[in-house]
Structure 1
Amino acid sequence: MTTQTAVLHDIRAGYGTGDRQLVALDGVSVAFDRGTFTAVMGPSGSGKSTLLHCAAGLERPLAGSVSIDGVRLDDLTEDQLTRLRRDRVGFVFQAFNLVSALTAEQNVALPARLAGRRPPAADVAAALAAVGLAGRRRHRPSELSGGEQQRVAVARALLSRPAVVFADEPTGALDSVTSRQILDLLRGLVDEQGQTVVMVTHDPVAAARADRIVFLADGRIADDVRSPLAPEQIAARTARLVAGPC
């Protein structure tokens, strides 16, 4: 088993063509180790979301290669890529993306059911228990707080026991207390279950919970910090990236 769950090598991604092409990632190489929590930060337009989408197989880069759990995504057909994302990748977004008419357990099971599979009830229950919602499995989104809804989204991401969970601003729609609870949850998944988490965030407090912070600027890696930083230090580094070279 590889020690790296996701590897991006010399990734170039962009939008448009010719003179109108906008470069989002310009030769980015980065690997995410198994059982670690990485935060990806940078100014608006730095390429954070594009990096996440390429790493997760949601978007194919213009050049370079991406591997998840040892499988090269550029070697896969669209059907094969869809199956790999379904089985080996978990997603958590700022919007909870829950179906209002379904209960928590039905929302957790929904992606598998849409793929034509019936997940074991015990697996659904275990995913909800892992995020502290064992007693709320039959509640609908309107009966849950924002933090509880995001916990359902995390449980949904965990159901397939993914190699890596990609989180795009998972606390962006939450208040500070609820954000801390979600970050505690993600931190616990890494520390207690060996889950790999890659999180895009603009929040220095959220990034401070990670093992590593990858800073992007203008589509390139500007810094890669593997030692703990305080939120104030993270904010200062991000501000310098926004300001650019003096």
Structure 2
Amino acid sequence: MPGGMDIVRLTAVSKAYGTGPGAVTALDGVTLGLAEGSFTAVMGASGSGKSTLLQCAAGLERPTAGAVSLDGRDLSRMRESALTRLRRETIGFVFQSYNLLPALTAEQNVGLPLRLAGHRPDPRAVRAALDAVGLGDRARHRPAELSGGQQQRVAIARALAAAPRVLFADEPTGALDSAASRTVLRILRTLVSEHGQTIVMVTHDPVAAAHAGRVVFLADGRVAGTLTEPDAVTVAGRLAGLEDAAAGEAAAC
């Protein structure tokens, strides 16, 4: 269960791309706390600011205004080298694309980020990460010998190997069939409920969002509501309402 303390905090965060009349506002004054040990899904229509929120929260993008804190540290006050180190030591990333190197085995792919950071991977930690996603018996298999769902589970294990405080996932089931998606989502839920992992997941899928403990809805770069302990039907209804409202505003312009 969430410990109550926000491990990630966005305060009045805005993010604009470009300048002058052609500037595009992706986030507009977002204030949001993400508790340690929580599983939060972020949803919204295309262009609502979902991925930008994730990128700002993870320190991949610097906000135009406002502040982001991660594990008690103000990211806006950090130099790029220190920010890179903090991301490496504190954050794990999982994307829709698996980004596995085809010539490496599963265990070599899991250990690769540690090697790139100048550390020798602990074989026990690598195997534990693979065990956590149910692939301990596939450690020596290369990506071509694994299904899409198994490859995404290797990508999750790779993110877990460095014991991140926060795991950010951007559409982690977007390229998977329904059965593989269910497996990946069960793993993510178990990481939270049994291991206290903090997960922030951007998704367009109400079924995926229903695995989270809370859903945050975005519209036009602003928080448009939240749901706790969501179910897929309620999530889908709320999302449809936001999309209808956005379509109505566009038609009125």
Listed one character per residue, the Cα deviations across residues 138-181 of structure 1 (whole Å, up to 9, x for unaligned) are 11000011111001100011111111100000000000010000
Q: Which residue of 2 aligns with 1:178?
A: 180
Q: Which residue of 1 aligns with 2:231?
A: 230
Q: Distance in 2 between matches of 1:102 and 1:66?
A: 36
Listed one character per residue, the Cα deviations across residues 180-215 of structure 1 (whole Å, up to 9, x for unaligned) are 000000000000000000100000000111100000
SS in 1 for 2:238: helix
Question: Is the 1:217–1:241 Cα contact (8 Å) retained in structure 2?
Answer: yes
SS in 2 for 1:66: strand
SS in 1 for 2:188: helix
Compared with structure 1, are the counterparts of its residues 87 and 2 closer, same or farther at alpha carbon in structure 2 (3 Å cutoff)?
farther
Q: Which residue of 2 aligns with 1:138?
A: 140
**Superposed displacement of residue 230, structure 1:** 2.3
Q: Distance in 2 between matches of 1:128 and 1:229?
A: 29
Q: Which residue of 2 aligns with 1:84?
A: 86
Letter in structure 2 aligned against 1:240: G
What pairs up with 1:28-67 in 2 under 5 angstroms? 28-67=30-69
Q: Which residue of 1 aligns with 2:123?
A: 121
Instruction: Name the Cα RMSD after superposition.
Output: 1.3
Q: Distance in 2 between matches of 1:124 and 1:68?
A: 25
Q: Which residue of 2 aligns with 1:187?
A: 189
Q: Which residue of 1 aligns with 2:212?
A: 210
Q: Distance in 2 between matches of 1:58 and 1:138?
A: 32
**Superposed displacement of residue 229, structure 1:** 2.8
SS in 2 for 1:99: coil
Q: Which residue of 1 aligns with 2:95?
A: 93
Letter in structure 2 aligned against 1:34: E
**Superposed displacement of residue 2, structure 1:** 8.1
Q: Distance in 2 between matches of 1:241 and 1:67?
A: 28
Q: Distance in 1 between matches of 2:97 and 2:42?
A: 18
Unaligned runs of 5+ residues in structure 1 are none
SS in 2 for 1:172: coil
Q: Distance in 2 between matches of 1:51 and 1:181?
A: 26
Q: Distance in 1 between matches of 2:227 and 2:213?
A: 9
Question: Is the 1:212–1:224 Cα contact (8 Å) retained in structure 2?
Answer: yes
Q: Which residue of 1 aligns with 2:168?
A: 166
TM-score (norm 2): 0.94
**Superposed displacement of residue 27, structure 1:** 0.2
Question: Is the 1:90–1:162 Cα contact (8 Å) retained in structure 2?
Answer: yes
SS in 2 for 1:244: helix
SS in 2 for 1:105: helix
Question: Is the 1:2–1:70 Cα contact (8 Å) retained in structure 2?
Answer: no
Q: Give runs of ≥4 in structure 1 deviating > 2 Å.
A: none
Q: Distance in 1 between matches of 2:93 and 2:177?
A: 21
Name which of 103, 106, 118 aligns with 2:105: 103
Unaligned runs of 5+ residues in structure 2 are 249-253
Q: Distance in 1 between matches of 2:155 and 2:71?
A: 22
Q: Distance in 1 between matches of 2:160 and 2:77?
A: 25
**Superposed displacement of residue 225, structure 1:** 1.6
Q: Which residue of 2 aligns with 1:25?
A: 27
Listed one character per residue, the Cα deviations across residues 86-117 of structure 1 (whole Å, up to 9, x for unaligned) are 11001000000101111101111111111111
How many pairs align?
A: 245
Letter in structure 1 aligned against 2:77: D
What pairs up with 1:140-155 in 2 under 5 angstroms? 140-155=142-157
SS in 1 for 2:40: strand
Letter in structure 2 aligned against 1:47: G
Q: Distance in 2 between matches of 1:41 and 1:115?
A: 32
Question: Is the 1:89–1:164 Cα contact (8 Å) retained in structure 2?
Answer: yes
SS in 2 for 1:27: strand
